[in-house]
Amino acid sequence: MDYAIQTDHLTKTFGNFTAVNAISFEVAPGEIFGFLGANGAGKTTALKMLTGLLKPSSGQAWVAGIDVTRKPEHVKRRIGYMSQKFSLYEDLTVRENIRLYGGIYGLKRTDIKSKTTTLLEKLQLEPYADQLVVGLPLGWRQKLAFSVALLHEPRIVFLDEPTSGVDPLTRRQFWDLIYEAAHTGVTLMVTTHYMDEAEYCNRVSIMVDGKIEALDTPRNMKKAFAATDMDEVFRKLARQA
Amino acid sequence: MNRFFAFVLKEFRHIYRDPRTMLILFGMPVVQVLLFGFVLTNEVKDANIAILDPSKDVASIRLTNKLVSSGYFRVAANLQSPEQLEPAFRKGSIKLALIFPSDFGHTLDHEGTAKIQLIGDASDPNTATTLINYANAIILNFQQEYAQSSLGVQQAQTPLILAETRMRYNPEEKAVFNFVPGVMTLILMLVSAMMTSITLAREKELGTMEILLVSPLKPLQIVLGKTAPYLALSFLNAALVVLIGMMVFGMPMRGSFLLLGFECFLYMFVALSLGILISTRAQTQMAALFVSALSLMMPTIVLSGFLFPRESMPVFLQAVGTAFPATWFIPIIKGVMIKGVGLSYLWKETLVLVGMAVVFIGVSVRNFKSRLE
Amino acid sequence: MRTVLYLVQKEFLQIFRNKFMLPMLLVMPVVQTILLSFAANYEVKNLSLGVVDHDLSPMSRQLVATFGASGYFKVYNTVFSSKIADADLARDRTDLILEIPPHFERDYVREGAGKVAITANAINAVKAGLAIGYASNIVRAYSLNEATTAAVNRPPAAIQVEYSNWYNPLLDYKTFMVPGILGEIISLIICFLTALNIVREREVGTIEQLNVTPIQKWQFILGKLMPFWMISLVMMTVGLSVGWLVFRIPMLGNLWLVFAYTLVFAPCMLGIGFLISNFAESQQQAMFTAWFFLLIFILMCGLFTPVDSMPEWAQRLNMINPVKYFVEFMRLVLLKGATFADIQQNFFTVLGYAAVVNGLAVWTYRKRV
C-alpha cells in the first residue's frame, strides 16, 4: 500500500539533546492523524522535518511517496503547512495574502480570483477581504491560514497546533474545516496538546520526550489504558515515562 | 529599591550571557578604532603627479627630484605633450600636473625668471588645494636654494620679518591626534545609542513589554534599569578605546584620568539615554534603527567637527551641529588628553552634556508614562 | 518569473503601507544630502586669531590689521599677556596666536630684522599647517611690502607659478560632496533595509511559510532585492535632480551611464545586506553587523579623506569597498565627463562584485536548516 506519510527511525538531535528519537510510523491517505504530546515533546520538530524545513540527523521519511531527506523541494509542491506561529503577512489584507500564496504556487490569475471568492465566502470573511490581517481576531486568522495552506490543493496538509489559544467555539468550527478537507481525500497530520481534540482523529500517536510511546485509534487506546478519555490516557502514559 | 536592583541584574544577565552582543559591544568598536586610527588621515603623501618637461635641463630635473623627495608626490607619468593631460586626469590616475616651459633652465639662468604651470584635479577640491599648497612651498624653497647655489648671487639685503612658528600640542604633527578622538567619539556614540534604541522596541515586538508595564516598577526605574547595565559595559568600552588610543596610537594623556573617566561616563550616559528616548517612541526595531543609525550616523560624521572644521560651516549648520552630543564631547576629550586642561576650561561642554542627559531621560520617562495611561 | 513578480508586488505593498518607511526612503536621503553637502568642507577659513602685542607700535598694529584684512583670519582679541592668549587657545576660542615681541618696530627699523611668533593649535595638524602657511605668507608679504616702500630695491620672484584647477575651477567642494554623500546614504539605506527586512521575516515567522512552498532560492532573493533595487534608482534620480537644482553640480558625463552604473552598484549593497541577514540570528545582530561594515565603507571610500593617503594595506583592503568604487565613478563621470571607456574597469569590477555577493547570498540562504 502507498502511504501518504511514512517514517523510518526519523531522528533529530541538537547538540547533545535528542528532540526526536527514532520515530517510525505510517499514515494512510485520507487519514486524520493526530500528533499528541506535551510542549517540548518533539512534535513541531518532527513536523518540520516532514515538511522539509529541518534536515533530519538520521533516519528516513517519505511524504507523498517522495524521500524528504533527499528531495525536500519536490515534496513542497504536494503539501500544505500551517505553522504554530501565525505566519501570514499581518500588514497585507486578506485578499492580498491569498493572492500572494496563489501566485507563489503558480496558480493562474483567473484561478486565484475564483478561489479567493469561494474561500472568502466559505469563511464568511467577505466584509473583511480588504482589511489588514493584523486586525482580525485570532480564530479567523487561523482559519484563513488553514485555507491558504489548502489553496494549491495539496494531497497532504500539516497543521502545527492550529487551535492553540483559540476559543472552544472557534476550535469546533476549525475541526469542521479539517473534516471537510479530509472528505475530499486530503491527508491531515495535526499536532495538538488539547487531548479532547484527539478524539476527532482517526488515529493518534502520543509523543513523550522525543519518542512515540503509543500509536492507535483513540478508541483502542482508551481501552488499552482502561481510561475514560484521552486525557487520562495521556496522564497514565506520562507517569510511565 | 531592591526590586530595582533585581531588575538591573536581570537586564545585565541578559546582555552578558549573549556572546554575540558582547562581541558587538567590545569587538566591533575595537576593530573600528584600530582600523580608522591607521587609515584616516588627511595628510597627502605619495600623490600621483604627471610631469610634462620639454626642457629636461638641470634646473627642471632638480626641481622634479625635490618634489619627489619631499614624500608628498610620486611621478606617475612623464608626459610628452599637453594632449596627454586630459586623458590622464580623466582616468583618475593623476592628481596634479606640473608643466615646465621648453626653456625652463635657460630663462631661469639668464633672465632670472621662469614660468611653471600647476594643474590640480579639483574634482576633489580638498586634495587639490592641499597639493598645490605643498607644491608651491617646495617650489619657493627650491627657488631660494637655486638662486644661492647656481647663481651664486647674494640676494639684495632686504629687511625681513621672520615668522617663528610653533605647532602647539602636537609638534610632530601627527594626524592621529585629530582623528583618534573623533573616531572614539563617533563609534562610542553610535554603538551605545543603537544598543539601547532597540531594547524597548524589541520588547514591544516580542510582546514582553506588557510584563514590564504591569510590573510595580516606576517608569524612571524602568528607564534607568534598562540603561544601567549598558552604562557599565559602555564605560568599560570607552576605557578600552582610550587605552588603545594611548597604547597603539601614542595619544598623550596630559590631563586627569579622573576627569576623563567622569566625562566618558557622562558621554556614555547621554548616548544611552538618547537611545532609550528613540526606543520609547519607535514601534518596531526597524524604525528605531532608522532613527538611531541612519539619522545619527552621517550627521555626526559631518557636523560634529570630527572631520570638517566647524567654523567653516554655514552658521545654520553650525547650529544644527550643536544638537549632537559628539560635537560637545570631541573638544572635551581633546582638551583632557592632548591639552591637559581641567574642568575650569571644559565646564561649558560638560554642562551641555549634563543638560542633554536630563532632557533625554526626562522625555523618555514622560513618553513611557503616557504609554501607561 | 511570475512568482518573482508576486513577491515584488507584496514587498511594494508592505513598503508603501508603512507610514514610517516611505518618508525615510524619499525624504531623508535628499535632506541629508543637501544639508551635509553644505557642511562637508575642508576649507580652512574664519580662523580665529589671538594677538599678543607687546610692542603696541604703529607697525605692530598695521601687521595685525593686515591679518584681519586677509580674509583667512578673524582677530579674536588683542591681549598683553601670553598667559591669557594661551588660555584662549586651550579653550578653543582661538586657533592660533600671533605674538609680537617688545621693540618689534624699533628692531626692524634699526637692525633691519624683526621677529614675530606664530603658535597654532596643531591637534588638527593639517589645518594648523595651512593656518601657519597662510600666516607666514601674510608676514612675508607684509615684510616685502615694507621693504619695497622703504628700500625700493625689490628682488623679483624668480619662478612664477601659474595655477589652474581643472574640473572645478572655483574649488567648489559641494560638487564633489553631493554625488558622494548621496551614494553613501543610498548605500546605507538599502543595505540596512535588506538585512533587517529578511531577519524580521525570520523573527516574525513569515519566512517559514515561504520556505514550505516550492519557491526557489533565486526567486525569493530576486523578489526581495528587486523592490529595493528600484527604490535605489528612484532615490538616485531624486537626489541627483535636487543636487543639480540646488547646487548646480555639473553633469558632464552621460546620465544614462550614471543610471546604468547605479543599476549595477545597488545590487552590491543589497547583496551584502542579504548575506548579513543569512548569518544574523536577530535584527539586532543584523543591524550591528551591517553598521560595522557600512561605517568602514563610508569612512574609507575616499570622500572624507583621500584614499591615496591610506597605508598600502588599507588601500588593498579597500578593494572590497563598493562605496569607494561608487565615489570614484561619480567623480569621474559627473565632474570630469569620463566616458564608458575611461571607467570600464570600475564598471566591471562592480558588476563582478555584485555577481559574487549575490551568488554567495543565494548559496548561503537555507530553506532547510
Residue C150 has pLDDT above 60, yes or no: no
Task: Indicate the residue among C105, C123, C151 that finishes a domain.
Answer: C151
SS3 category, A73: helix
ipTM of predicted complex = 0.86
Summarize the confidence of residues B158-181 as an average pLDDT.
Answer: 78
* C window 197-236, beta carbon within 8 A of A: 204-206, 208-216
Residue for cell digits 611621478? B75
Q: What is the pLDDT of residue C229?
A: 92
Same domain for C122 and C210, yes or no, is: no
Residue for cell digits 582679541? C77
DSSP C45: -
Q: How far apart are CA A136 and CA C48, in angstroms?
A: 65
Same domain for C106 and C61, yes or no, is: yes
* Helices B219-247 & B2-16 angle (0-180, nearest 10): 50
What's the CA dihedral at B63, B67, B73, B75 to 10 degrees? 20
Tell me, yes or no, whether A22 lies in a domain.
Answer: no
Q: What is the pTM of this model?
A: 0.86
Tell me, yes or no, whether C103 lies in a domain.
Answer: yes
Kindly state the cell numbers that stand for A192.
Answer: 495538538
Split into its structural domains, chain A has a count of 1
Residue C323 has pLDDT above 90, yes or no: yes
Read off the pLDDT of residues B99-151 as tens digits, 9 standing for 90 and up.
998 888 888 887 777 888 888 888 777 778 778 877 877 887 787 677 666 54
Q: What is the pLDDT of residue A1?
A: 54
Q: How far apart are CA C249 and CA C337, in angstroms?
A: 12
CATH number of domain containing C108: 3.40.1710.10
Q: Report CB contact under 8 Å: C165, B120.
A: yes
Residue C156 has pLDDT above 70, yes or no: no
Kindly state the cell numbers that stand for A80.
Answer: 500544505
Q: How many helices (H) and strands (E) does chain B have?
A: 16, 5
How close does chain A come to C198, measured CA to CA in Å? 13
Residue for cell digits 545619527? B296
Residue in chain C lying closest to A77 (CA): C214
Read off the pLDDT of residues C209-259 as tens digits, 9 standing for 90 and up.
999 898 888 899 899 999 999 999 999 999 888 888 888 877 777 888 988
Summarize the confidence of residues C18-47 as an average pLDDT.
Answer: 83
Model confidence at C282, pLDDT cuts 50, 70, 90, reads confident
Mutation test of the interface with chain C: which of B158, B295, B334, choosing the one with the most C Cβ atoms within 10 A?
Answer: B158
Q: Report CB contact under 8 Å: C168, B125.
A: yes
Model confidence at C154, pLDDT cuts 50, 70, 90, reads very low
Q: Report CB contact under 8 Å: A100, C205.
A: no
How close does chain C come to B369, measured CA to CA in Å? 23
Same domain for C219 and C95, yes or no, is: no
Read off the pLDDT of residues C174-212 as tens digits, 9 standing for 90 and up.
777 888 899 999 999 999 989 999 998 988 889 989 998
Low-confidence ranges of chain A (pLDDT < 50): none
Q: How far apart are CA A25 and CA A47, in angstroms?
A: 13
Tell me, yes or no, whether A69 lies in a domain.
Answer: no
Kindly state the cell numbers that stand for C223.
Answer: 523578489
Q: What is the pLDDT of residue B157?
A: 44
SS3 category, B142: helix
Tell me, yes or no, whether A6 lies in a domain.
Answer: no
Same domain for C186 and C267, yes or no, is: yes
Tell me, yes or no, whether C145 lies in a domain.
Answer: yes
Chain A residues close to C206, C-beta within 8 Å: 87-89
Residue A176 burial (CB count, 10 A): 12
What's the CA dihedral at C267, C269, C274, C276 to 10 degrees? 160
Same domain for C333 and C264, yes or no, is: yes
Largest distance between two CA atoms of chain B: 94
Domains, chain B, with CATH or none: 14-40+175-372 (no CATH), 47-151 (3.40.1710.10)
Q: What is the pLDDT of residue C151?
A: 47
Residue B208 has pLDDT above 60, yes or no: yes
Domain span at residue C141 reads 47-151
Model confidence at C319, pLDDT cuts 50, 70, 90, reads very high
Residue B300 near residue B306 (C-beta atoms within 8 A): yes
Kindly state the cell numbers that stand for C273.
Answer: 545586506
Q: What is the pLDDT of residue C152?
A: 43
* Helices B295-303 & B176-206 angle (0-180, nearest 10): 160
Residue C215 near residue A73 (C-beta atoms within 8 A): no
Cβ burial B206-229 (10 Å sphere, 16+ → b, else e): eeeeeebeeeebbbebbbbbbbbb
CATH number of domain containing A132: 3.40.50.300
Residue for cell digits 536581570? B10
Tell me, yes or no, whether C329 lies in a domain.
Answer: yes
Same domain for C252 and C107, yes or no, is: no
| Mean predicted lDDT score pLDDT of chain C | 86
Model confidence at B210, pLDDT cuts 50, 70, 90, reads confident
CB-based contact, B108 to chain C, within 8 Å: yes
Tell me, yes or no, whether A9 lies in a domain.
Answer: no
Read off the pLDDT of residues C76-131 as tens digits, 9 standing for 90 and up.
999 989 999 988 988 888 999 999 999 988 888 888 778 899 999 988 887 888 78
Residue B356 near residue B366 (C-beta atoms within 8 A): no
**Do A and B make contact, counting contact as 3+ CB pairs within 8 angstroms?**
no
State how far the alpha carbon of C288 is from the alpha carbons of B28, B194, C298, in Å.
Answer: 9, 8, 15
Domain span at residue A199 reads 28-53+78-240
Residue B168 has pLDDT above 50, yes or no: yes
Same domain for C195 and C55, yes or no, is: no
Q: Which element (helix H / strand E) includes C79?
A: strand C73-79
Q: How far apart are CA C118 and CA C107, in angstroms?
A: 18
Split into its structural domains, chain C has a count of 2
Same domain for C194 and C329, yes or no, is: yes
Ramachandran category for residue C360: left, alpha or beta (phi over 0 → left; psi -120 to 50 → alpha): alpha
CB-based contact, C17 to chain A, within 8 Å: yes
Tell me, yes or no, whether C164 lies in a domain.
Answer: no
Read off the pLDDT of residues B254-275 as tens digits, 9 standing for 90 and up.
999 999 999 999 999 999 999 9
Summarize the confidence of residues C150-173 as an average pLDDT.
Answer: 63
Residue C54 burial (CB count, 10 A): 15
Residue C299 near residue C307 (C-beta atoms within 8 A): no
Q: What is the pLDDT of residue B153?
A: 45
Read off the pLDDT of residues B141-151 as tens digits, 9 standing for 90 and up.
787 677 666 54
Same domain for C350 and C204, yes or no, is: yes
Read off the pLDDT of residues B40-94 as tens digits, 9 standing for 90 and up.
887 777 888 999 998 888 888 988 998 888 888 889 888 888 888 888 887 777 8
Tell me, yes or no, whether C29 lies in a domain.
Answer: yes
Beta bridge partners of A188: A32, A157
Of the candidates C6, C9, C212, which has its C-beta nearest A53's C-beta? C212
Tell me, yes or no, whether C273 lies in a domain.
Answer: yes
Residues contacting residue A168 through CB under 8 Å, at least 6 positions apart: none
SS3 category, B99: strand
Same domain for C146 and C189, yes or no, is: no
Chain C residues close to B44, C-beta within 8 Å: 306, 308-309
Kindly state the cell numbers that stand for C316.
Answer: 588593498
Model confidence at B152, pLDDT cuts 50, 70, 90, reads very low
Task: Indicate the residue among C151, C182, C214 that finishes a domain.
Answer: C151
Residue C271 has pLDDT above 60, yes or no: yes
Q: What is the pLDDT of residue C149?
A: 61
